[in-house]
Amino acid sequence: MDKIIIQGGKPLYGTVSMSGAKNASLPLLAATLLVPGRHALHNVPDLRDTRTMLKLLETLGARWERDGGTVYIDTRYLNRAEAPYELVKTMRASVLVLGPLISRTGYARVSLPGGCAIGARPINFHLRGFEQLGAVITLDQGYVEAAIKGRLQGSVVYFDTPSVTGTENILMASVSAEGTTVIKNAAREPEIGNLVDMLTSMGARIEGRGSDCLAVHGVRELRPAEATIIPDRIETGTYLLAVAATGGKVTITDCRPAHLPALVEKLRSAGVHIEEQETTLAVSCPADPAGPVRRLRSVDIRTMPYPGFPTDLQAQFMALMIQADGSSIIHETIFENRFMHVAELQRLGADIKIDGSSAIVRGRPQHELCGAQVMATDLRASAGLVIAGLAASGTTEVSRIYHLERGYENMVAKMQALGADIRKIRE
């Protein structure tokens, strides 16, 4: 198993370019199943998760090839309608093939994902939505089967709480349903806008892009797509936080600052200097006459659906707050078990107490945080540990970094180019 070794305490300087978004690539790749043909997706990051999704498409009968950032997917011949346990257990987002498969073939069988490191994460909203569109759902030996006779029927689908992949699944299922489907309390994450744009370019008729109410007027025919994946806002936020934690000055290119309203606001409140342009962010920490970097102020966050503070940046934000001046309350409202990084950050000397769904972080001066051996528990927790290791003094060893490779393209090389002392070794 690979490990990351970090010698902390070095500020980051330079320019770093952002990759396409993992969480946009996954639904857009799944959407190519909707209609037979050759599709082209640009700016697809080469990650463990995008490779898993391509493998799943291949299992269903699709073929694909990659040329740089562009992936061509040929979905003319599908010979299977099942997402097997082996793939779903490594990537929950495999459930995204349910919507397009039911829409195209009237039948889909997908292994139930089960719990994961950050929470129970059921898919009941997806299944209830499919039922509302007329599908019959059955559970058989750990697999969910969805079947319809004829076409799906437009309906009203209401989510108790906004679900990102739930909204994407119902969107993909309903584009070719008979009549209109209204998705109420839909998630509004930018990745959904990316999917709406792709579906629209395929001939779908969708109203309400970017809002919590989407109206999908079913169409009889769709055409193959050519679409571009948006920049990864969570990767962008992770680099912003890394610079804030280590000090220095970095320009982040090929990003969409507009997709990170909550983080930018919180970082400014903490004292980080950020200049936004349409596709570029310049981030720096003010110098302190008494030391290399002025200590940032502690600020509270509460994770919320978009445009609120993203749960996918909570661990990385905590890694910043452990060295800020004062106390910060980090309230996690989306996933019930997303504090697995706390015990690892404590190994570096962080002062954190968990109280239900809140973590109370008392910041300590940077020199009191010292590198240690830590273990990554999930993708974003791993990124938090890397940030903490970059800022702490001494050596930090992060093991189980396959989590990190699920969602960050070339993170070690990108950090090295910014001057970080970080390397990957094989154990």
Interface residues with ligand EPU (CB under 6 A) are 23, 26, 93, 119, 121-126, 161, 163-166, 187, 311-312, 334-335, 379-380, 407
> What CA–CA distance (Å, rounded) separates 361 from 314?
12
> What CA–CA distance (Å, rounded) separates 425 from 300?
36
- Nearest distance from residue 190's CB to ligand EPU, in Å? 11
Q: Which of 116, 213, 255, 285 is catalytic?
A: 116
- Nearest distance from residue 387's CB to ligand EPU, in Å? 15
Burial of 364 (0-12, 13-18, 19+ CB in 10 A): middle
The CA-atom distances, in angstroms, between 378 and each of 92, 176, 248, 290, 383 are 13, 36, 27, 37, 9
Q: State in Å, rounded, how far the first CA of the chain is from the last one.
A: 6
In the bound state with ligand EPU, the residue whose beta carbon lies nearer, of 23 and 323, is 23
Core vs surface per residue 122-160: b (16+ CB within 10 A) or e? ebebbbbbbebbbbeeeeeeebbbbbbeebbbbbebebe
- Nearest distance from residue 424's CB to ligand EPU, in Å? 20
Residues counted in the chain: 427
Amino acid identity of 69?
G
Question: Strand 248-253 and strand 351-355: pairing?
Answer: unpaired
Question: Phi, psi (5° rounding) for residue 131?
Answer: -65, -40
In the bound state with ligand EPU, the residue whose beta carbon lies nearer, of 165 and 377, is 165
- Nearest distance from residue 238's CB to ligand EPU, in Å? 11
Question: Phi, psi (5° rounding) for residue 368?
Answer: -90, -5
In the bound state with ligand EPU, the residue whose beta carbon lies nearer, of 279 and 357, is 357
In the bound state with ligand EPU, the residue whose beta carbon lies nearer, of 82 and 378, is 378
In the bound state with ligand EPU, the residue whose beta carbon lies nearer, of 306 and 371, is 306
Which residues lie closer than 8 Å to 124 by C-beta, 6 or more apart? Answer: none
Whether 116 is catalytic is yes
- Nearest distance from residue 247's CB to ligand EPU, in Å? 27
Indicate which residues carry an active-site annotation.
Answer: 116
